[in-house]
Structure 1
Amino acid sequence: MASEKTTTLKEFKDNLLESYRKEFPNDEPTICAFAPGRVNLIGEHVDYNDGFVFPMAIPLGTMILGKALDNSTNNNKCYIQTLSNDVDEPKSIEVDLTKEISRFESPKWANYVVGVLALFLERTKPEKRQSFRIIIATSVPIGGGLSSSASVEVAMCTFLELLYQYSSMNFQPLSKVNKALLCCKAEQTYAQVPCGIMDQYTACIAEADHALLIDCRNNTSQSIPMKNKDVCVLVVNSNVKHELVAGTYAQRVQHCQEAANILGHKKLREVSSIEELEKARDKMSSVIYKRARHAITEIKRTEAGAKALINNDYNEFGRLMYDSHESLRDDFEVSCEELDQLVELARSVDGVYGSRMTGGGFGGCTVTLVKKSSVEKCIDTIKKGYKGTASFYEFEPSNGTCSVNLKKD
């Protein structure tokens, strides 16, 4: 029972080129940008609490293909089209660069793109605004908890950097951290999702064969090697969809901030110990207490998890993964029946170190650390026991965003 085939960067580029040429005959694109999705190994719902998170980039991602247009002949308009089947209509939009760039009420997908465009222009202040045409494709399952949105945002920002590098002698590209911050702000203000920095940061800064221990308080990171080819990161998509904008995510953010306020801190990262929380338990509702307990203990688990991987202690890392899932299920209440079932099925397989839900929750994916020799057995066990239809991905840690060479290989 095999996992899904992961499209290579070259295959992705060739397929997108074919789509572009069908859409725009007798026209050739000149710029191509890619940004990866990510899977968070441990450290869930703590980035907006200024905590530690421990993601890695994955080979799936978003690619944007396009070219600069002549401002004088197309009235300073940008043409943006998505090839995704999993987003709302219409699949193409226009943006007038002579006007203020506002968020779209519909289609919602557009805000992840135009938000980056608006903030990029505001931040870089180019001598003249350059119109363009792009098409966007993503291989990241939308709503799967693998950060399809951040991959779109970071790919868009990389495309714009390339566009303005070609069109302006004086353009200075953003630092990787500032690029991540800009994309995060775009999602918060245009898509109106109160996300933390983890997803965009990973898409900008990740390295192949490494996970990233990110300190979300000061936006610094440490690359932790993951080079043991006998160990596999297996991601299982429950194929249960969720939409973060629906309010559950924002509610959890609000709960955590309320707990921090009661404890007299700016963020829950500043809580020194679980004992500090216990002393204030009678000052908060049971729901707020549970949300805080998850965040405080998850931050500690993430630090411990990074140390375990540095020491190649996969058994300890796996134990922390199971603890993380139970906390997300019981204290943060963002799991669901399908995710719980996937974790328990993985736990039953010899050679599985640990498993947990990953991403925002209420569907999406689990991440499992498993011996390479046990992957097939794990997939087979889940396939037979899961009440839904799952998809399986074997991932190795991948690089962050990049430009893609359009010359023939």
Structure 2
Amino acid sequence: MKNQLVQQTKRAFQHHFGDPPESIFLSPGRINIIGEHVDYNDGFVLPAAIDRYICIAITERKDSDICRIIAHDFNDFYEFTISDEMIKAPSVWVNYLLGVVDEINNTGKKLKGLDMVFSGNIPMGSGLSSSAALECGFAYALNNVFNLNFTKEEIVLIGQKAENNFVGVNCGVMDQFASVFGKDDKVVMVNCDSLEYEYFDAKLEDYSLILFDSCIKHTHLTSGYNDRREEVEEGKRIIRNHFPEMVTFRDCSREMLNAVKDELSDKVYKRCLYVIEEIRRVEDAARSLAGKDYEKLGRLLTETHHGLSKEYEVSCPEIDFLVDETLKLEGVAGSRMMGGGFGGCSVNLIKTNDVRQVIDKVKNQYKKAYDIEMNVYEVKISDGTHQYKENEYSI
């Protein structure tokens, strides 16, 4: 799958620009095992990079400051001058790239012109962070091609700031961090405040991670993402008025929240309750992985879905249906909505021997209920953003 994507992107580059690209980079999507919507709420998250990628083929233009970029999957093209002020473009995909250039320009480091083609096999709008993969892959490629000497942490923050400041989505740092720092068969628990992190083994033994794509598409710009962030910030301000020792939500207990409940709207109370409980669940999940207690891990996933659906209110009927039907079946340890919400995928922890039976039953039930053909992604935990070498092993 990886090599097919690389060859497709290389062929497209040669077709458009006449020569093969000088460099190829791969930047993965991600799943989040647990810790949804807490990356911007002071919490820990537990993501992993997966074997679905944005592939970038790129060549420096030594004679020009012009950048020519082709989005192969969209059959679209954009050209700009690297030294000009970056101005938003009509095409959404362009703005992720312009945002990266804008952030690098703000550091004072010098970029030059380039020719580039990118393509991917990360399903868009499914909660697998294709946008973060594109941002970080582009930043990583520019860092290598132009010898900018950014650290991996700096590349992560360039990707996040591009989305915050240029695209206009107040996302946290998790997606970009997972894309850059992923490792084979490892999840990474990240403190999204300090960017401190710790890897945990995630071979999962007799279990598999299976994604059920509801085929209900969303974007963070239209899904209420920014509204949720404002509601939680309102709750934090009120709690701090009574408990000034609270620096972050990691310092906040359910008892503290309940002490100020009368000053919170029902909506703000529920949002804060979800965040406090989810921060606890992430730490419990990391311990469960370390202890190979996959049944407990599954129960935590299911608790998270309840919180996302009923407290944070970012689910939708189709995703709730997928989770409910999946949890009825033998071999399922846990199931939950994944990603920003209002569509996308559920992530399911299923005994490997039962995977095929569960997929068949849920697909049939979903088709009957919504007349939608559910897509299924069997994913493996993979390495993070990297330069592709011709002898790189791939299945």
Give the partner amino acid of 1:149. Answer: S
One-letter amino acid of the counterpart of residue 78, structure 1: C
Structure 1 counterpart of 2:14, from 15, 18, 21 = 21
The question of 1:79 aligning with 2:68 is answered yes
Is the contact made by 1:101 and 1:114 (CA closer than 8 Å) also made in structure 2? Answer: yes
Q: Does 1:399 align with 2:379?
A: no
Hey, what's the Cα distance between the residues in 1 that align with 2:164 and 2:292? 37
In the alignment, is residue 340 of structure 1 matched against residue 331 of structure 2? Answer: no
Judge conservation of contact 2:183–2:383 (CA < 8 Å) in 1: yes
1:210 and 2:199 matched? no
Residue correspondence of structure 1 range 259-408 to structure 2 within 5 A: 259-264=235-240, 269-386=249-366, 387=370, 388-405=372-389
The corresponding residue for 2:80 is: 95
Q: Which digits, 9 at most, give the CA deviation of each residue in 1:78-119, with x for residues without a partner?
A: 11111233xxxx821112123222332x11211111111221
Correspondent of 1:62 among 32, 54, 58? 54
Q: SS of 2:107's equivalent?
A: helix
Q: Among 114, 130, 150, which residue is 1:174 paired with?
A: 150
* Deviation of 1:407 (Å): 7.9
* Residue 164 (structure 1) aligned with residue 157 (structure 2): no
Residue 287 of structure 2 aligns to a residue whose secondary structure is helix
- The 1-side partners of 2:188 and 2:108 are apart by 28
Report if aligned partners of 1:198, 1:216 keep a CA contact under 8 Å in 2.
yes
Q: 1:117 to 1:98 in 2, by over 3 A?
A: closer
SS at 1:48's partner residue?
Answer: coil
1:110 aligned to 77, 94, 102, which one? 94
Contact 2:270 2:312 in 1 (8 A): yes
Q: Structure 2: how far apart are the matches of 1:397 and 1:155?
A: 18
1:32 is matched with which residue?
24
| Distance in 2 (alpha carbons) for counterparts of 1:315 and 1:181 | 35
| Contact 2:29 2:52 (8 Å CA) reproduced | yes
C-alpha contact (below 8 Å) 1:31/1:162 kept by paired residues: no
* Contact persistence 1:31–1:406 (CA under 8 A): no
AA in 2 matched with 1:50: D
Name the TM-score, length of structure 2 as normaliser: 0.94
Q: Which moved more, 1:255-264 or 1:224-233?
A: 224-233
| Equivalent pair of 1:213/1:221 in contact (CA under 8 Å) | yes
Cα distance, 1:275 vs. partner? 0.6
The structure-2 alpha-carbon separation of the partners of 1:195 and 1:21, relative to structure 1 and needing over 3 Å to count, comes to same
Counterparts of 1:124 and 1:33, CA distance in 2: 24
Q: Does 1:228 align with 2:208?
A: no
Give the AA of the match of 1:284.
L
SS at match of 1:84: helix
Give 5+ residue unaligned stretches, structure 1: 1-6, 166-170
- TM-score, normalised to structure 1, is 0.91
Preserved contact between residue 210 and residue 227 of structure 1 (Cα < 8 Å): yes
Aligned AA for 2:13?
Y
Q: In angstroms, what is the RMSD of aligned CA positions? A: 1.7
Cα distance between partner residues in 2 of 1:406 and 1:309: 34
Q: Which residue of 1 aligns with 2:217?
A: 241
1:192 to 161, 168, 186: 168
SS at match of 1:33: strand
Equivalent residue pairs, number? 385
Q: 2:233 aligns with which of 242, 248, 257?
A: 257
Q: Is the 8 A contact 2:204 2:294 kept in 1?
A: no
Question: CA separation in 1, counterparts of 2:193 and 2:332?
Answer: 32
| Equivalent-residue separation in structure 1 for 2:79 and 2:27 (angstroms) | 23
Give the structure 2 partner of residue 168 of structure 1: none
Structure 1 counterpart of 2:125, from 143, 164, 170: 143
Change (3 A) 1:360 1:82: same
